Amino acid sequence: MPRIDLEDIVQSNGTGYPADHAALVQQRWVRRIAPAVGLADFGVSHVVLKPGAASSQRHWHEDEDEFIVMLAGEAVLVEDEGRTLLHAGDLAAFVKGEPNGHQLVNESDADCAFMAFGRPPSGDCHYPDIDLLWSNGAYRHKDGRRY
């Protein structure tokens, strides 16, 4: 496999979240490595969180395992069981189907970076703290209405 230069991969802070849930991730910068290098069986992303930013709204997937590796800085892992400070070199895994909402939040005064591994989910994604559900390819209110 040839060496991958991150600078060659477009970095984006875009989100598909509905506008009323998007501000939290506005300073999350993502490089989607997998599609840029032709990987199809799983996703790989390089993520930078600016101070105050979160990786996502707190969520869990019915059918996607997720795995992260902290590369630089620190972030707080927020999940049902509480808060855990993660530093460079720390690892975290989120098992599909386990209803434990999770997110990373950069509460420091410096950028943090991590790698995220998973696969494109096809099932539902739940957001326990807000009126949001990903289902049938679209964001919806928890009562099923589309955003």
**Tokens encoding 42:** 């799983």
Q: What is the pLDDT along the chain (147 residues), one digit of tens a residue?
A: 589 999 999 999 999 999 999 999 999 999 999 999 999 999 999 999 999 999 999 999 999 999 999 999 999 999 999 999 999 999 999 999 999 999 999 999 999 999 999 987 789 999 999 999 999 999 999 999 999
User: What is the model's pLDDT at position 47?
Assistant: 98
Question: CA 71 to CA 114: how far, in whole Å?
Answer: 5
- Side chain identity at 107, as an amino acid letter? E
The separation between CA 87 and the C-alpha centre of its own chain, rounded to angstroms, equals 17
| Domain layout of the chain by residue ranges | 6-140
pTM, two decimal places: 0.94
- Pick the closest to residue 9 from 27, 23, 30 (CA basis): 30
Residue 18, SS3? Answer: coil
Q: 6-140, superfamily in CATH?
A: Jelly Rolls (2.60.120.10)
User: What is the model's pLDDT at position 1?
Assistant: 57
